[in-house]
Every structure is written in structure tokens, then in C-alpha cells.
Amino acid sequence: MQDVHFFNKIAIRNFLIFYPLKQIKTALISVYYKTGLDQIVNLLKSYGVQIYSTGGTFDYIHEIDTTVKTVESLTGYPSILGGRVKTLHPKVFGGILGRTQLESDQREMAQYDIPAFDLVIVDLYPFEETVANTDDASAIIEKIDIGGISLIRAGAKNFNDVLIVPSRKYYDELIGLLKAQNGATSIDDRRRFAGYAFAESSHYDTAIHNWFAPAMELRYGENPHQKGWFDGDLDALFEKLHGKELSYNNLLDLEAGLNLIREFNDTAFAILKHNNPCGIACRPTVKEAYLAALAGDPVSAFGGVLVCNRPIDKDAAEEINKLFVEVLVAPDYEPEALDLLFSKKNRIVLRLKQDCYDRIVVKSVLNGRLVEERDLHSETADDFKVVTDKTPTQDEINDMIFANKVVKHSRSNAITLAKGGQLCASGIGQTSRVDALRQAIEKAHSFGFDLNGAVLASDAFFPFDDCVKLAHEAGITAIVQPGGSVRDQDSIDSCNQFGISMVFTGYRHFKH
């Protein structure tokens, strides 16, 4: 598992000393598509920039600027191996990677007659377009750019000295800054273009990876009319013991279920539906935990994804076998349990090999990505700040810890009700917190739960005291919530009025 690391813009800006504008004196241009290049070449010519180029790019530029030099004149080697090797040479990459601030670099560049490149312009071989237009593997492989991608990475690495333009999509921006600064670049310009460069190389390499190791095609996406794929290594996580292929929605529920179940050290069983826990309980045995989880919402459990943190024994399997289950995952199974579980042809039975997960969460949105740290904080009794006259009992504290773990993994706005280490009901995905509580209370009553002495957990603060009043009417005696509302005191006063204990955690757990 690898964490994702990002540039800290503020830190880098503070680290870099002041750099004046740097005049472009020498440029290297190696592009596949020549469109839009003429205006750039004319500008560079007007600023007296010496251009080096390769192959067809040289021929194109020579029509505009006869002073252009071939890369071969620099390296002493012609383009070889059918054009596979043109720029891969120390005199080229030394000219890009040489550091002007490092005296030893400058001595070696002078010793080996290496020119310092201030500008590198690359437009890569059209790999994705080739894949889209042909199934000819040899043609596709020849469109894997080696020299170009190396030039991009080298230029981006040495952005202190080099402006790297990694695609023709940035030509207009380049032309604008050249005109504005008379053929010079700033450190901010070079750093910005380095960011473009790494984005370009990442996208390009991902496309190549996907061709060599295509994403696993799923039966369909979220709905039957949508196509779906999974790009990852499920075999590293699970051993599929039985059943049909996993679906898009199965994988989403598995992700949600595993994130939830790892919160518990005691024997725990969870039932997931549409990424939300509809039942979860901790009990001494797997069978007891399963039956208590099922009681939380036996209607929603139909067709659900079941997750357990202990091996499934025969007694538990006998009960599970009575329910239509989409997916069951556990660290192991007794042989007699598997005999029972395999009796349903399509039931997916997975053995969890290792429970690993990224500490970074990435979501695609608006043609970009949202990236955040995973919510790994789980509150303990030490995080609880009692804000009411009444102090919770030890049993209430235990149930508040349990309920708070469950609400953390429920879609906002979320309320969970728990009693005796069992989820009684939850209200999830509501646009108001009081509606979430009403939903939870109604569900709990519909399944025969007595909420007297139950606890309530909320994923965010109460904006009003209406939830406290509803909780009191239902018989709830303890509440755990983050706190932080400007009207916290209203809720505290209501709890004191009704004899309810309430603790603040200081941690919100929105989940959208």
C-alpha cells in the first residue's frame, strides 16, 4: 500500500529563494504533431533562441528558422533503431538536468561541451488514439513514447532551470507568457508547467498500463444500462471460494463493510445494503452476532452483503443459509460451514486474505479529483466530554462507543440507535437531522425494539434541541454527538430537563 504524496505549495514557495526572470537561450523541441508550432518557433527566433530538434520536427522548423540544429549534431549519433532512439543521450539529458546553481554540474557541462536547455517542448506519440483506431499490437507498441516521456520527466524534475511544455494543449499559455515576458520565464512559470508535465506523464503511463493490464470488466455498473470496470487487484485481498462474479455494487458494499468491521475488536457481524449498515452487533459467538445483526433490519438484510471479523462456523452458517445473501466475506470458514454455504449456486463466498486499504480517498468530480485522508479516528471513552448534569453509566458508554462507530460509516445525515452492543436502527441519508432520527425511531419500533435505555449517536452536531425531545419521547437515555453548534446549550438544557446524559466528542463524521 502506498500513500499518495502531493506538493505542498506553501512549503515549496517558502523553500525557494528569489529567482529573477530567466531568459530562454536554448530550446529543445521534439513533437509528434506540428500544428501550432510555427508561432512558437517565430517567437523563439525573434528572441534569438538557439533551437535543437529531431527528425520530422527539424524539417518543419527548418522551413521557419534555418538556424535550427539537429540533435544528431549535438550527440554525434544519428537516429537509430527505426527512430526508437533519438534523444536518449547524456548531452541531451545533461543539458536538461544540469543545475545552474551547482558549480560541479557547470564544470562537467563545460568539460563535455553540453549546452544548457532552458526550454523543452514535447508532444508525445498518440498512444491512446492509436489504441482507439487499431487492434494491431505492433502498431500500438510503436506508439509508446520513450524519449519524449523521458524528456518530460527530466524537464519537470529540473524546473528550477527548465520550462517543460509537455503537450500542444499548453502552446497558447506558452505563447502568452513568452510575449508577456519577452522570452523569459519565472520560477512560478516553470513550477506550474512541471505540474502539467507530471500530470501528462501520469495520464500517459496510466493509458499504457490499462492496455497491458486492462481493468476487469464487471457485469455492469451501478445500473444494468451502465458499463463498469474495476481497476485493481482483488486477488490480493480475497480468495473467491464460490458464486458468481462480483458486481460494481458488490464491491462498493464490500468496501463499506470492511471499513466498518475493522472498527471492532470483539466478535462482530455486519450486514450492508447500499453502502450502509442495516445491521451490526457484537456478541460472544458468530451465530449470536449474526442473529443480533439480522434483527436490526431483517427486511433490508435480504440480498445484502455480510461481513464478519471471525471465521464462520457451522452453527452460524446454518442461520446464514436461511437468508438470500449476495456476498459473504470472513477471514475463514469451517469445512462444514462451506458445505452449507455452497448450497446456493450464485451466493458469493469470499475468504479475506489481508485487510489493507489506502489511507487516501480519491473521488472523481467535475473532470477532476477530490483527495482526502481517510477518516481513521474512532472515539473512545477518553474522547467523551460529559456536558450534562447526568453522567452516563458504563453500559451507556459502551453502547455510545459502539453506536458512534456505526454512525461514522453511515451516509449523512445519520443517526444510529443502539442497545446492548446491537444496532437497533439507523436513519441515514436524510437532508435534516431530525428526519434521520424520526426514521430511526420508526424503524426500531417496527422491528420490535424497546428503546428504553438505548443510546443515540449523531454524525454531526444538533442545530436545535428537537432531536433531544424526540429521543426522550422514545426512551433514549444517552446521546453522543460532536458538539460545536452555536445552539449547543439548547440541547444540553433539554437533556438536563429530561434526565438524559450527553457527551461531546469534538469529532464530526460526515460521509457523503
Looking at the annotation, which residues are catalytic? Answer: 157, 274
DSSP SS3 for 138? helix
DSSP H helix total and E strand total for the chain: 19, 23
Say how far residue 323 (Cα) sits from the centre of its chain: 34
Question: Identity (one letter) of the amino acid at 312?
Answer: I
Yes or no: say if 200 and 151 are a contact pair by the CB < 8 Å rule: no
Distance CA 228, CA 270 (A): 26
DSSP-derived letter for residue 36 is T
Diameter of the chain by CA atoms?
90
- HSE at residue 211, side-chain half, CA atoms within 13 A, is 21
Residue 238 β-bridge partners? 352
Distance CA 364, CA 367 (A): 7
E strand or H helix at 163: strand 163-165
409-447: string of b/e by CB count within 10 Å (b at 16+)? bbbbbbbbbbbebbbbbbbbbbeebbebbbbbbebbeee
